[in-house]
């Protein structure tokens, strides 16, 4: 059956290899490489016959990988760590290439091959790093954001490396060729800008109108491979064209659908690529050159850890971050396989060098989870051996803070919360990473810890273990999850209130230990509705009933297990049914210090107090001996005139507006 039988064998082998990798909690690409090793001509097991045809299909996998990368690429992801990503990563690439060149010369390789070694080891693995971060629950931490930012720039760097490195075979004649390639690339990009703004969006819109998923998938694939083939015809990289096509589509309104449709194809053809990589690994070479492979593995891990660690520290990241980034990015990445294939196909590198790099890459990938797990122990050891840098704190008493509120995030939300707590004389502390906001908070006199709230050292500096309440203001649920896990370890009894973007995320946060979840978009919509109802003349009681009902529908399902919350919910439902009003006892109220019995409220004013919320305590149907206190929230039942009189007693400063009088008269009538 020829190639059809080969593809069937590869798919079955990939399934087996992928399953093995999954069982050992390794990235699937390692399983695919293992599958390639099993079906390679070197093993003598089930052998692929049409190797060249498989390699051609694998090239499509490379193009689709870069096409999807182009669609997913976003400068907004780089913004929080833009300096270390955009500037630091090119420096890292240059340093690592130089380091690899030295290794190559020591191992006896020529100048061109040594530079190739440097380039191949300079790229880290996005897939392996992301898998490791997810498994360790560190997505959203500062170190993870630095790593992801640098990985994005590394992935982009593969394009110029694929163009430049093959020209190293003949530097004399290569420089004019490089100049011509640069001119071609600029010209091609200009054409793609025109096509991306005029032609491609029109084609995608026309296809989308057909409402055919099949045609849309074909159109997306045709653009990816067609643009790639166009770049190949003008003498540039096929993969480069596919990447540019992805970036063009990323700016259109069809980017999400295009990515979702292309992902299955990318995964299938990407699988073929990684299997083809494994097919080129010679076990005999690995055994006979085991010492050389292990030496290169050691040099790569040590060198990259050092380069990343020093560089990240230079860009202003301290404490655990340099260690985490160095250990996390110490492997050789999957795009190094792509680059190595280019070198092999252009006769820029030898088969021996190719086999050496592949073997080294696979071993460093396998070691990544283990190396990442060493981050915390190494950091603890470093703290014991050396005086570690302290986290910058501002306006915090020398005696420290206890029973305070910690606000994670000093943006507008955090600052508004801080103002309210300051007004109530509640001790609080802000955690903020933005240096500009730090200056503003310092000038106001707010106590601040400069740092990332998703780092343990920063939370320790904020005395979270002694805090009474934590408020997480960030909208990013991944960061909220990370902060919550760390705080639960430091202070299991800590109450946590967090904001959340989506209703679907509420249960996840509650399961992690978040006490209360607030949905800003929902609350904004509710407030706009309340304001609209007021303008339309809807009675305040009806407005309260309506908004309470909406809140119950959103928040109650996740909190039914909370006894206090359940009681409060029952009171609110009773309020809707019985026309209850919620009245706050202010500091000027004559109610304070008196009991229900002594004031004879029911007899003198005609109202009934059916519930009291006092701080965290909920008291349904308080007895006659209950003594009123400041800030009590009373659930009161009565007619409008009785409620109005009692409101004046609870808050003597409350003024009844003419509009309220009018509404009261209507209700009374």
Do residues 634 and 582 lie in contact, with contact meaning Cβ atoms separated by under 8 Å? yes
Residue 164: is its pLDDT beyond 90?
Answer: no
d(CA 64, CA 71): 11
pLDDT value for 78: 65
Region 271-286 average pLDDT? 83
The Cα-based distances of 451 to 167, 410, 447, 524 in angstroms read 45, 11, 13, 30
pLDDT value for 501: 76
pLDDT in tens, 599-626: 888 888 888 888 888 876 778 888 888 8
pLDDT-derived band at 62 (thresholds 50, 70, 90) equals: confident
pLDDT value for 667: 37
Q: Give the DSSP letter string of 366-390.
A: HHHHHHHHTHHHHHHHHHHHS-PPP
Taking CA 330 as the corner, what is the angle to CA 162 and CA 246, rounded to the nearest 5 degrees? 40
Region 179-204 average pLDDT? 74
- Of the listed ranges 152-156, 510-514, 578-582, 624-628, the one predicted with least confidence: 578-582
pLDDT value for 328: 92
Residue 292: is its pLDDT beyond 70?
Answer: yes
Q: Give the DSSP letter string of 197-228.
A: IIIHHHHHHHHHTTT-HHHHHHHHHHHHHHHH
Region 96-117 average pLDDT? 92
Q: Which residues fall within 8 angstroms of residue 24, CB to CB, at 6 or more apart? A: none
pLDDT in tens, 107-160: 888 888 999 999 999 999 877 787 777 667 676 677 888 898 898 788 778 878
Please compute, for residue 30, the number of CA atoms within 13 A of its CA located in the half-sphere on the CB side.
Answer: 26
d(CA 584, CA 592): 11
Taking CA 86 as the corner, what is the angle to CA 84 and CA 88, rounded to the nearest 5 degrees? 45
pLDDT in tens, 439-487: 777 777 888 888 778 878 788 888 899 999 999 998 778 788 889 988 9
């Amino acid at each position: 059956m020829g190639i059809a039988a080969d593809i069937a064998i590869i798919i079955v082998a990939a399934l087996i290899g992928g399953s093995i990798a999954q069982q050992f909690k390794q990235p699937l690409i390692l399983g695919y490489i293992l599958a390639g090793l099993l079906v390679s001509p070197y093993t003598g097991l089930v052998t692929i016959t049409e190797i060249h045809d498989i390699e051609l299909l694998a090239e499509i996998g490379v193009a689709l990988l870069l096409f999807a990368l182009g669609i997913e690429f976003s400068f907004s992801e780089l913004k929080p760590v833009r300096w270390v990503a955009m500037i630091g990563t090119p420096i890292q690439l240059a340093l690592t290439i130089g380091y690899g060149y030295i290794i190559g010369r020591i191992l006896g390789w020529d100048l061109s091959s040594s530079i190739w070694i440097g380039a191949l080891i300079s790229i880290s693995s996005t897939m392996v790093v992301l898998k490791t971060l997810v498994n360790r629950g560190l997505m959203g931490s500062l170190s993870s954001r630095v790593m992801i930012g640098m990985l994005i720039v590394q992935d982009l760097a593969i394009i110029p490396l694929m163009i430049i490195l093959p020209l190293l075979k003949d530097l004399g004649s290569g420089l004019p060729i490089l100049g011509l390639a640069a001119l071609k690339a600029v010209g091609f990009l200009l054409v793609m800008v025109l096509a991306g703004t005029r032609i491609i969006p029109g084609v995608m819109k026309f296809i989308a109108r057909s409402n055919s998923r099949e045609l849309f998938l074909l159109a997306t694939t045709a653009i990816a491979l067609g643009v790639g083939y166009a770049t190949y015809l003008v003498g540039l990289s096929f993969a480069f064209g596919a990447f540019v096509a992805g970036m063009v589509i990323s700016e259109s309104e069809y980017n999400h659908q295009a990515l979702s449709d292309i992902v299955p194809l990318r995964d299938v053809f990407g699988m073929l690529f990684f299997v083809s990589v494994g097919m080129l690994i010679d076990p005999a070479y690995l055994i006979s050159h085991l010492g050389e492979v292990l030496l290169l593995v050691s040099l790569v891990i040590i060198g990259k850890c050092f380069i990343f660690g020093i560089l990240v520290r230079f860009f202003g990241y301290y404490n655990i971050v340099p260690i985490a980034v160095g250990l996390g990015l110490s492997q050789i990445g999957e795009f190094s396989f792509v680059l190595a294939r280019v070198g092999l196909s252009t006769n820029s590198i030898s088969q021996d060098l190719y086999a050496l790099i592949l073997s080294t890459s696979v071993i460093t990938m396998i070691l990544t989870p283990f190396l990442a797990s060493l981050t915390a122990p190494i950091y603890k050891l470093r703290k014991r051996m050396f005086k570690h840098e302290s986290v910058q704190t501002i306006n915090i008493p020398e005696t420290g803070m206890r029973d305070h509120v910690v606000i994670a995030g000093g943006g507008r939300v955090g600052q508004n919360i801080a103002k309210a707590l300051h007004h109530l004389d509640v001790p609080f502390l802000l955690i903020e990473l933005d240096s500009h906001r730090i200056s503003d908070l310092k000038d106001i006199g707010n106590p601040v810890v400069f740092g990332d709230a998703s780092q343990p050292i920063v939370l320790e500096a904020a005395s979270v273990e002694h805090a009474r309440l934590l408020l997480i203001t960030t909208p990013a649920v991944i960061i909220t999850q990370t902060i919550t896990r760390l705080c639960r370890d430091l202070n299991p009894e800590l109450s946590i209130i967090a904001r959340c973007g989506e209703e679907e995320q509420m249960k996840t946060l509650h399961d992690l230990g978040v006490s209360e979840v607030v949905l800003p978009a929902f609350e904004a919509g509710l407030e706009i509705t309340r304001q609209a109802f007021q303008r339309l003349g809807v009675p305040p009681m009806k407005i309260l009933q309506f908004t309470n009902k909406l809140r119950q529908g959103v928040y109650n399902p996740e909190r039914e297990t909370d006894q206090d919350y359940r009681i409060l919910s029952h009171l609110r439902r009773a309020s809707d049914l019985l026309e209850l009003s919620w009245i706050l006892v202010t500091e000027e109220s004559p109610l304070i210090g008196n009991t229900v019995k002594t004031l004879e409220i029911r007899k003198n004013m005609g109202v009934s107090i059916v519930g009291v919320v006092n701080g965290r305590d909920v008291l349904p149907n308080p007895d006659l001996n209950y003594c009123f206190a400041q800030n009590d929230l009373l659930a009161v039942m009565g007619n409008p005139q009785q409620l109005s009189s009692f409101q004046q007693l609870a808050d003597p400063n409350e003024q009844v507006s003419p509009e309220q009088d009018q509404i009261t008269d209507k209700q009374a009538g």
